[in-house]
Structure 1
Amino acid sequence: MDWNRTIRQVHRWLSIIFTATVVANFVAMALGEPPSWVVYSPLLPLFLLLFTGLYLFALPYAAIGRGARRTGGYE
């Protein structure tokens, strides 16, 4: 199993879920006072996006640290 590909796919799906919960939050606020579970529902996908995003951000730096050769850069 390719972990990098899996994490990237999870990050994409989390972004879709996060966007849907934010839209639902705005719709609920337009209809009146939303319940607290609606207000706080974007937080779980947001924190998971933080961790997967930090992992994806660190991947190129970890590859350079392992001695992988840069392709297409300013060498």
Structure 2
Amino acid sequence: MKWNIWIRQAHRWLSIIFTAIVAGIFAMLGAGEEPVQWVYLLPLLPLALLALSGLYLFALPYAARRRGGRRARPQE
């Protein structure tokens, strides 16, 4: 269970990092500075990690249901 918490927390921090990088690029463009070409590639690493952790978090409820864990709907 601890593993899921770590991935969820990493996903949150990666989203903050990704947003800060993209905002920084737009701020540089808004200031009239043209950044070097490799700066445009900076958001790709956090984006790839976000995609992987997001897919994992998306699949968690389905895997738990398949293993016989929590139910999708509450019992009546």
Residue 35 of structure 2 aligns with an amino acid whose one-letter code is P
Aligned length: 74
Q: CA deviation at 1:74?
A: 6.0
**2:56 counterpart residue number:** 55
For residues 33 and 45 of structure 2, the distance between their equivalents in structure 1, rounded to whole angstroms, comes to 23
Specify the SS of the correspondent of 1:55: helix
Q: CA deviation at 1:36?
A: 1.5
The 5-angstrom pairing of residues 1-75 of structure 1 reads 2-30=2-30, 31-70=32-71, 73=73
TM-score (norm 1): 0.88
Show structure 1 runs of 4+ deviating over 3 A: none
Q: Report percent identity of matched pairs.
A: 59
Structure 1 residues not aligned, in runs of 5+: none
- Taking only aligned residues, the RMSD between alpha carbons, in angstroms, comes to 1.7
TM-score (norm 2): 0.87
For residues 24 and 56 of structure 2, the distance between their equivalents in structure 1, rounded to whole angstroms, comes to 28
For residues 48 and 68 of structure 2, the distance between their equivalents in structure 1, rounded to whole angstroms, comes to 31
For residues 17 and 61 of structure 2, the distance between their equivalents in structure 1, rounded to whole angstroms, comes to 26
Specify the SS of the correspondent of 1:7: helix
Specify the SS of the correspondent of 1:39: helix
